[in-house]
Amino acid sequence: MLQNSKNCGFVFLACLLGVLMALTACPLSALEFRIVPVNIYGDGDPLNGIEDSRKQVREVQGGKAGFTDQRMSAGTITCDGKFRGTAIVADTREFAPDLKGVVLVSAAHVVFNLDKKKLFRRCKFHFMGWNQAPGYQSKIDLKNVRMGDFDPWQEAGGPEFGEGDWAFIYLRKPWKNFNPDQSLRLREFSFSQAELYRRSGGEFRLLAFDSSAGFISESENCTVIESRRDDLGGGAWKGQLLDDCDSADGASGGGMLAVMNQQYFLIGIRNGSHWSEQVYPVDSYPSGPPDGSVWSRRLNTNFGRALDAGLMQQIEEYIQILK
């Protein structure tokens, strides 16, 4: 997951030893990792911050119920043998009811080699799993991906950082049991109405891969807000979201959801995390805030890209070209 801050630390790690040790018996460990840490607010200790709420999400098949019968689909992306992040399966029927393939929503940096500062050569999507798990996988045509103006050379402190970190990906052939009812509908969300939304029973969640557990997980009861001038995002561009959703490495490209009355809408894309270097100096915290640290919009937060009117127009234009 990318990591960024305005006047904050920007730390890239080649790997996280603890994660690799935990996954030595897991097929995921066979992949070459290019992991960057995320801010994890739940670590099993309710005394030191927001508690971990990640729960596994399973595929729903043939009238059978998965975890709480949730209608949502996601998967992971690997590129050139590297595990990269998450992609969400989008419901495109309102734009093109007869589209034959599947459209994925993810972050642009997921398909970029951040060491070589260029796109990977070969990428694959793995439905509800990872590279060596049995099941559907598909090659990604990187020449047919629509992305924002993400620049791997861009300075993390730049005011425009993250605005172009989005990608729409088309798979020409869906998996055998593909059910569009389990994909996520796309919506622009008005955060000026967020408090009323929550009082009416609405909730924000994160759907993303959890590399520490090895499955797609859902984090519940998140706080998701738009960045303002007085926080870490600095309100640098409209559509920058800050969130405290529990996650693990692998959540890049995950879906930020608005949920009400068992209706799920994709409203944003998880991009990375950032924190105050004054509170968490690099010398003392080379990997950023320790797991379980308290979330704060001014000191320690994850961030994402909202599906605003501009992105909704981008995906509609992209889908029309695919028809």
Could you report the per-residue pLDDT of 38-90, keeping only the tens digit for each? Answer: 566 655 455 555 555 677 776 655 555 444 445 578 999 999 988 999 999 99
Cα separations in angstroms, 173 against 101, 116, 177, 182: 5, 31, 12, 17
180 CB contacts (<8 Å, ≥6 apart)?
A: 91, 92, 93
DSSP state of 209: E
Domain ranges of the chain: 2-38+69-322
On the question of pLDDT at 160 being above 80, the answer is: no
Could you tell me the pTM of the whole model? 0.83
Number of continuous H segments (helices) and E segments (strands) in the chain: 3, 20
* CATH code, residues 2-38+69-322: 2.40.10.120
Cα separations in angstroms, 247 against 55, 76, 255: 10, 14, 11
On the question of pLDDT at 159 being above 80, the answer is: no
Residue 172, SS3? coil
Q: Which residue has the higher pLDDT, 230 or 155?
A: 230
| Mean residue pLDDT across the chain | 80
Strand partners, 243: 224, 302
Q: What is the pLDDT of residue 22?
A: 34
**Residue 121 pLDDT class (50, 70, 90 cuts):** very high
Could you report the per-residue pLDDT of 258-306, keeping only the tens digit for each? Answer: 999 888 999 999 998 888 889 999 899 988 888 878 888 999 888 999 9
User: What's the burial of 71, exposed, middle or buried (CB within 10 Å: 0-12/13-18/19+)?
Assistant: middle
